[in-house]
Structure formats: structure tokens, C-alpha cells
Amino acid sequence: MGNINAAADLSVEGNIGIITLDSPPVNALGADVRDGLAGAVDKAVADPAVEAIVLICAGRTFIAGADISEFGKPPRGIGLHEVQAKIENAPKPVVAAIHGTALGGGLEVALTAHYRVAVPSAKLGLPEVKLGLLPGAGGTQRLPRIVGAAKALDMVTSGTPIGAKAALETGLVDELAPEGELRSAAVAFAQKIVAEKRPLKKVRDLEVKGGSPELFAEFRKANARKFRGFEAPEANIKCIEAASGLPFDEGMKRERELFMGLMTGVQSAAQRYVFFAERQAAKIPNLPEGTATRPINKVGVIGAGTMGGGISMNFLSAGIPVTIVEMKQDALDRGTGIIRKNYENTAAKGKLTAEGVERNMGLLTASMSLDDLADCDLVIEAVFEQMDIKKEVFGKLDRIAKPGAILASNTSYLNVDEIAAATSRPQDVVGLHFFSPANVMRLLEVVRGARTAPDVLATAMEVAKKIGKVAVVAGVCFGFIGNRMLSSRQREANKLILEGAMPWDVDRVLYDFGFPMGPFQMADLAGLDIGWSKEKSRGETLRDRLCEIDRRGQKNGAGFYDYDEKRNRTPSPLVEKMILDFAAEKGIARRAISDEEIVERCIYPMINEGAKVLDEGMAYRGSDIDIVWINGYGWPVYRGGPMFYGDTVGLQTVLDRLNHYRATQGDDFAPSPLLEKLAAEGGKLSQYAAK
């Protein structure tokens, strides 16, 4: 590359100047790309032989956006707005030629071109909202001028891109080019524009259609729940409102102000951090890049219960055949029936075709014999969470599975090394901990045993990506990363309701913090009787007592809450009395508990436990822990995860408050040495990586 700079090239073909950007991996608009693009436009405009300009990108995609890694750093090179002005004000037509993904700043550049051509597989969108931002390079002002206010609202607040064909229908794209022939088609299009002397179509000069006050009011109302807690969606809505009501330049000013507000806020910092953290989690330190993986063409799942069924669906949906094994025919039939029903429900929502349902179900084999797993490349056990049962299953699998097959356990707490020791091939054993509902939740904890082979680990990460999961590697410890930290929150929630709060107080405070639901609501949803046994129950915990009087949770209409037929919940006076009696029996003097104490008591021990997980090397990085919590437990993404949140609050503050509670609550609050060290050094948990 290069007659402009390392990232941009200008060539001339006949009367067309072709600007090619080439900045792997995704042609993000870093300083080099901006400088190169500006220089190329200047040069093409100055060249009398050039009558129109095509802007195209090399590699896998058109510009995928601003360079996110530059955000928050001192500015370098020419500004994006200036580059865009050069394109929009060029006295010769500029045609953007789009393949791959034209996202964020990439689409905003294309919107300053006079025409847009795209291949059918291209996707166009403004995903800034996902980074806690808004399209601050004129996207909120130009997009509604083409697609109308309603569609623009949808696009900027969801961040979801649209395909080139839909873009053609809305006018966002002027012409589709045959796949693989973008360059020649764009050049031909530019020649046609010149020959026909078509005007320089500036998006900024168009009118916004459909931006009525009712549209915005209804949109806000319809999406209030979805946008709860997030700042960016509302700022995006305000921008589209501005586009509808103000002249272009004033709208741009409004966009700038709102953009700066978001850019300097904590939410966007958190969401940008999460973007990179998620990609980082896929990289395993001390595993050489390019470690060969094992082919996974057939999967076995043992157990057709809720977990086994959900796990199977991941593979079926990705086109990988699954053999599912259960011990009893009726359980097997029930399990496969639920899988089918789930797919049919998806189809009823229009997200899968009827053929899709049959295709997926056609990949499923139901069996009552473990022997049928002999040809599987990966077998995942999802049986009862009890060590002796797991060991028995793995002992049998060891005799049945073919050499080189990966044997995985979906255990959520148990020791994977002990399970591996029940086989003659511990190097092939790994933990694959899915989260319920397993076909929906994005998180997969990959538990690396002491003897798990590097290629088994690499294969697990690769398979996870194939089935659309975000995988995080965890070491072997009780509850791994997520459930281990959850235990500390649960412990405090249970203590708080005896000390003075009610379950609905704790739930409300954690809901307001940003979780989809609080711990008691979650317990009711999961079923209070999970792991509870009538025979062994001695009324030692509140949960025992609830189960003993048949309050088992949402499923039978009564748990911590009372439920009506539509599963609407209300605080239960009976449970309130039970809590008061229980506390009195234990000699606990109840007191008023503030919302602030509920947050601190529930969240700070999690941060502390996360620091212990890191210190023990059970997670590679602080950011991995955050990815676990965001994708597996509904931690609000705009708070960046528990480690990032600890950094935001200030580690010294977290430490001080842990010590404060330690004085009254005891050593459950004993701070982790790593937390003490980082607080003293001014370090950050979210940036911490195990040596």
C-alpha cells in the first residue's frame, strides 16, 4: 500500500479515482486511516483526470468504526469530522463501496459519500449504543434523513445492523453489487453517475420523515424496561429528536454535546472495557497460539433434563449432531419433547423456520445406552450433581469413548480433577459449565483440570465460539469463578433478612443496582427445593422451613413471595412472620438496614472473593471475572462487572468498608491480600493478570 500513507492508497482507473483503505484487522478509523483518507480525497479532488471517487476497503470489511482503542487518549492526526467534510464537500461524486460490516464511524463516513454501493452480504449499522455511546460523527443526524425517524430510532438504540438488501429498500444503499465484484461494480456505478451528470446527493440536505412527538413518546414507553439503567439509549433518542426538529448544523451541535456527556461518563468506559475484555477472555496465556485442536463432528450428552436438553440445543442449532442419553424411556421422551417444543416456540416467534425445526431435530439421536456414545468426539455429562454418580459415569465413559474423545463434565461445583481421576485419560477431561437456560445464556466456564491437555483446552474454546458462547477459563475450586462469588452474595443476603431487611428489600436494591432480579426472586424462580430433601430437613434454615410447608417457589405459587396464576409476585405476610420468628429464635435483634448497606454487604464480598479467585490463579485476569458475571449472572454491563465496579468505587473504599463490616460480622469480611496490595499500590482489579 501506499502512495498516501501506510493505510491508504489512491489509484486512477480511467476517469475514476479509487481510494483503498487497508488497515487490518477491521479498517478501524485510527489516526493513520483518517490521515490517509483525507490525503487521498484531497489528491483525487485536485487531479483533473478524476471525475468521480470510489472509496473501498481491502481485507475482510469496510471500515468497522472508530478505533475504540483510541478513545479516552489524547487526539492524534486529523479529526473525523474534518475528513467527513472533505468527502461531503468534494466537488466530484464520492461512492462508498461496502463489503463486510460498515459500522459506527464506518457507516458515518459512508453517509457523507454521495452514493453507496454494497454487496448483498454486507451489513450496515450504528452499534455505538453497545459501547455506551451515540454515533457522534453525524450518524444520528444523517441516518434519519435517509431511513426516516422511526427506523433510525430503532437502529441507533438497538445497535443492530441491517443487511444490504434491507438497506437498499430504505435507500441507505443506492445499488447492490454482485458478491465478489464490488470494485468493478462500484467503478461502473461511478462512471454511470458521471455520464448521467447526476447531482451530488448530500444526505444533510434531505428532510427527516416521521419524527412526530408521539413517535418519541411511544418509543420511550415501549422500551422503558429494556433501556432501564442505561444512559446511552436516551441520549440517542434525544439526537433523533434533534434531527427531526432542528436544522442540520444545530442538530450536529446537539449530537456533539450529548456525545461528549456519554464519552466522559463511567457507563461508556465500562462498556468499552467489556468489548475488549470479551475478546481477551478467548486468549489463553501459556497456550501457544496455533495449538492444533481436535475435530468435533459429533457430540454426546448424558442426561436429558433441563441442562442436558439446553446443552444439546446449542450443538443442534450449530449443525452438529448430538446423541442424548437417559436411563429411563419416559425421561428421555420428556427431554427430547422439550427440545422440540423450544424450537417450535422459536419458530412461532418467527426466529426459525419450520424446516429449521426439523433440520435441528433431525440431528438429534435419543438413546438409553451409553454405548451409543462410542463414536462421539465430545461427550458432556449433565447428570445429578453428586461426586459418586459423576465418577461412575466417567468410569463407564472411559471404557466406551473412542481414543482422543474429549470427556466433559457440566458440574457447577465439584472437583474436576477428582472426576478426571475416575478415568485412565485425565488429559482428555475438562469442565464445561453451562448456565441455565443453557441454550440461551452466553457464558461457558471452561474448567481446566490439573492434567487437562492444552489441545483439549484449545478445542473447548473453539467449540464454545462455534456454538455462540463466551468462554472463560476457570481453575478447579469450589464453584469455580461465578458460583464461588455468588455464594458470598447469597450468604450476606440470607444474613440481611434475619438482621432486619426483608427479601423484597434486598431484591429491590439489587434490581435497582441493575440486576434483572434479586437473589430471593431468583431462588423462587429456580425452585427452593433444589437439593433439598424432605427426609433430611430439620428446619435449620429459612429455606428448609419454607420447603417443609410446601412453599417451593414460583412453580407452586409460593416461595419467599406469594404468586398469582399469572406468576405476579407480592410480598408474603406469612413469610414475613416466619422471618421474624426465626430471627427471634436465633436471638438476633433486628434493626433498620439501609439500601446502602444492602449494596455493600452483597457486592463488596463478591469483589473480595473475586480478588481471592485471582490471587489463587483460578482466573487468568480480572477482566475474565467480569465477563463471567455479565454473561452468566446478569451483572449490568454498564457497571463493567464486579472487578471494574470495585475499581470505580475505589479499592481503598471497598477495603475500608470490608474492614468496617469485619468488626461486626466477623471473618467472612476478611479482605484478600491481593485487594489490600492493589489498594495500597493504587492498582486495579480489572487490569490485574495472574503471573
Residue ranges binding ligand TC6 (CB under 6 A) = 25-26, 28, 61, 64-69, 80, 101, 103-105, 127-128, 131, 133, 135-137, 279
Which H or E element spans position 444? strand 443-447
- Shortest Cβ 165–ligand TC6 spacing (Å): 18
Contacts (Cβ under 8 Å, ≥6 apart) of 474: 431, 433, 445, 446, 447, 448, 480, 481, 618, 619, 628
Kindly list the catalytic residues.
108, 128
- Shortest Cβ 641–ligand TC6 spacing (Å): 18
DSSP 449-517: -TT--HHHHHHHHHHHHHTT-EEEEE-SSTTTTHHHHHHHHHHHHHHHHHHT--HHHHHHHHHHHT-SS
- Shortest Cβ 107–ligand TC6 spacing (Å): 8
- Shortest Cβ 639–ligand TC6 spacing (Å): 19
Number of other CB atoms surrounding residue 252 within 10 Å: 21
Rounded-to-integer distance, Cα 644 and Cα 638, Å? 10
C-beta closer to ligand TC6: residue 285 or 673: 285
C-beta closer to ligand TC6: residue 280 or 537: 280
Number of other CB atoms surrounding residue 500 within 10 Å: 17
- Shortest Cβ 307–ligand TC6 spacing (Å): 28
Asked if 7 and 59 count as a contact pair (C-beta separation under 8 A), the reply is no
C-beta closer to ligand TC6: residue 127 or 426: 127
SS3 of 506-542: the string is: HHHHHHHHCCCCCHHHHHHHHCCCCCCCCCCCCCCCH
Asked if 616 and 480 count as a contact pair (C-beta separation under 8 A), the reply is no
Asked if 192 and 144 count as a contact pair (C-beta separation under 8 A), the reply is no
C-beta closer to ligand TC6: residue 36 or 65: 65
Number of other CB atoms surrounding residue 72 within 10 Å: 11
- Shortest Cβ 156–ligand TC6 spacing (Å): 12
**Strand partners for 18:** 11, 54
Contacts (Cβ under 8 Å, ≥6 apart) of 298: 320, 321, 322, 323, 375, 376, 377, 378
- Shortest Cβ 455–ligand TC6 spacing (Å): 21
DSSP tag of 202: -
Rounded-to-integer distance, Cα 411 and Cα 480, Å? 10
C-beta closer to ligand TC6: residue 280 or 293: 280
Give the length of the chain. Answer: 691
C-beta closer to ligand TC6: residue 145 or 543: 145
Hunting for cell 437502529 — which residue is that?
155
Phi first, then psi: give them for residue 290, nearest 5 degrees.
85, 10
C-beta closer to ligand TC6: residue 135 or 671: 135
